[in-house]
Amino acid sequence: MNELRKRLDSIPGVETTKSNIDNIEICGKNVNKGNGLKILAAHYDISLDECIAIGNDENDISMIKCAGLGVAVKNSRDYIKEFADYVTERDNNNGAIGEVIERFLLNIG
């Protein structure tokens, strides 16, 4: 997988990422969740500082870094957590999103 990914990344205009250990996502250069969040926020006239992004794998890093509050769920790989402002106590199968809503939007807990 790593060799294939290196070969794909060498193609002009192509960028790869992954959302699991056994896949490769192939996109156009600079096509990622972070830039998608920027476009969506601009469309709705929302500051990125007011945005929360929650993710768990490599394909979420750009979004986690871009948002005013970048969140990694408990069961994220450790290197993903390094980019986050907050790491949930719950995993993505057991209430991580609810935890973020309660803590940061409803100010519960």
pLDDT, position 21: 82
Instruction: Report the C-alpha gap between 11 and 90 in whole angstroms.
Output: 39
Instruction: Report the C-alpha gap between 63 and 84 in whole angstroms.
Output: 10
**CATH code, 32-109:** 3.40.50.1000
List pLDDT tens digits, range 32-87: 999 999 999 999 999 999 999 999 999 999 999 999 999 999 999 999 999 999 99
Model pTM? 0.90
Instruction: Report the C-alpha gap between 98 and 109 in whole angstroms.
Output: 12
Q: Across the chain, which distance is largest between two alpha carbons, in Å?
A: 48
pLDDT, position 79: 95
User: Amino acid letter at 73?
Assistant: V
Beta strand spans in the chain (E): 14-17, 25-28, 52-55, 69-72, 86-87
**Token duo for residue 47:** 């500051």
Question: What are the structural domain ranges in the chain?
Answer: 1-31, 32-109
Split at pLDDT 50, 70, 90, the class of 109 is: low
Split at pLDDT 50, 70, 90, the class of 97 is: very high
Phi, then psi, of 7 in degrees rounded to 5: -65, -40
